[in-house]
Amino acid sequence: MQLKVLVLAGDGIGPEVTEQAIRVLRTVAAHGDHAFTFEDGLIGGAAIDAAGTPFPPATREAALASDAVFLGAVGHNKFNALPPSERPEAGLLALRAALGGFANLRPAFAHPALADNSPLRPAVIEEVDILFVRELLGGLYFGQPREWNRATNEAWNTMRYTRAEIERVARVAFELAGKRRKKLTSVDKANVLEVSQLWRATVNEVAKDYPEITVEHEFVDACSMHLMNNPRRFDVILTENLFGDILSDEAGVITGSLGVLPSATIGGQVDLFEPVHGSAPDIAGQGIANPVGAILTAAMLLRHSAKLEAEALAVEQAVRTVLESGARTKDLARGQQGTILSTQEMGTRVNDALIDVLRGQAESARLTGVTR
């Protein structure tokens, strides 16, 4: 397997956690004789400092020439005085638009080893495994017109979708639901918004092609409540851009930390992978950031871009093994007894566990005569 990855470490803790994720990918490549190549690029605040723009043309060209893009994080408070179109976050939106990925996949799961980290009762979150499919290129984030008119003290954004935009992301969600528990929840606000009425009607039309999938519709406010009191009722949640952003972040409560949640954006010319957490500039450079979200994002890259399912599962198993051993970064310690690991130490623990899992897979394949 040959894979060319553009690495955009970005701002804040991005470089620290990205280093550990790429380390894991190199381990997978070495053990499987895969030819993974990594090229570094600039985005966000780092790009503003070096090139005067959050999304330099060279980064765009390199991204479109890659098989996958791995992003750390963007954003820093020192750029808050800039116009929104010139801030680090504008670079991320421009990258998403350039790559064309319209389906953002955000898993939300309950690690048994982290049950005490969630403010929800263990009985509520036990065995929760949700996959958010968030439409990423439409809605309020990209709709026009949009403006803040300072002269009149007015501001407006436009939520806009076409049937085609809804249908394509719905089909991604239905396909993924078919590989899971065959249940899809579509979230909208169809009792108020015309855009949501189009969304619901389109999802119902697409559902006719997937009779094996159970479909339900939820208003976004009801869904946000059920995520906290009965999250096990959900499997795949399909929703538009803004609702998906809010709900998937809320679901971080289930796991107990955004620092362990990954994401992938697929459907475009090049897939984009980034952990859900932000740049956290207040802890950057201290070696205390949690790399697990970035490492699990690497697993999603293996699954969706490299098509290496066994290796993706190996990374996920390594993370489970390390968490079950009691290893914690500062955000996960929560007053628990034991040693708190640095970013690099946690990465080392996961990488060592991964080597063991990969060796086990190789031995099993040898004994069964399976060639991979």
Hey, what are 106's tokens? Answer: 């955000």
Distances (CA, A) of 241 to 148, 165, 225, 279: 21, 11, 19, 21
Residue 235 bears catalytic tag: no
pLDDT tens by residue, the chain, 372 residues? 899 999 999 999 999 999 999 999 999 999 999 999 999 999 999 999 999 999 999 999 999 999 999 999 999 999 999 998 999 999 999 999 999 999 999 999 998 888 888 999 999 999 999 999 999 999 999 999 999 999 999 999 999 999 999 999 999 999 999 999 999 999 999 999 999 999 999 999 999 999 999 999 999 999 999 999 999 999 999 999 999 999 999 998 998 888 999 999 999 999 999 999 999 999 999 999 999 999 999 999 999 999 999 999 999 999 999 999 999 999 998 766 557 999 999 999 999 999 999 999 888 877 877 655
* 54-91 residues labelled b (16+ CB within 10 A) or e (exposed): bbbeebbebbeebbbbbbbbbbbeebeeeeeeebbbbb
Q: Could you say which of 189, 235, 271, 331 is catalytic? A: 189
Q: How many residues does the chain have?
A: 372
Give the type of residue at 330: K
> Which tokens in the block code for residue 196?
């949501």
Token pair listed for 237:
């949640």
Pairing of strands 183-188, 236-239: parallel
Q: Is 249 a catalytic residue?
A: yes
Identify the structural domains of the chain with CATH numbers, from first to last: 1-103+256-372 (3.40.718.10), 119-252 (3.40.718.10)
Catalytic site includes residue 221: yes
In terms of DSSP bridges, do strands 214-219 and 68-73 run parallel, antiparallel, or are they unpaired?
unpaired
Of the residues 116, 221, 352, 356, only one is catalytic, namely: 221
DSSP string of 71-127, one letter each residue? EEE---GGGTTS-GGGSHHHHHHHHHHHHT--EEEEEEE--GGGGGGSSS-HHHHTT
> Model's pTM, two decimal places?
0.92
Half-sphere exposure of residue 254: CA atoms within 13 angstroms, side-chain side: 29
Tokens 């991964």, residue located: 354
Nearest-angstrom CA–CA distance, 306 and 369 = 23
Catalytic residue from among 188, 245, 271, 331: 245
Distance CA 135, CA 139 (A): 8
d(CA 67, CA 6): 8
141 is annotated as an active-site residue: yes
Q: Which of 197, 195, 203 is nearest to 139 (CA)?
A: 195
C-alpha dihedral, 50 to 55 to 61 to 63, nearest 10°: 110
Catalytic one among 49, 67, 129, 249? 249
Contacts of 245 (CB under 8 A, 6+ apart): 134
CA distance 57 to 1: 29
Where does residue 217 fall: left (phi above 0), alpha (psi -120 to 50 degrees), or beta otherwise? beta
State the pLDDT at residue 293.
97
Q: In the annotation, is 330 catalytic?
A: no
Distance, in Å, from the CA atom of 109 to the CA atom of 213, rounded to the nearest integer, reads 21
What's the pLDDT at 337?
A: 58
Q: How wide is the angle at C-alpha 97 spanned by C-alphas 91 and 101, nearest 5°?
A: 120
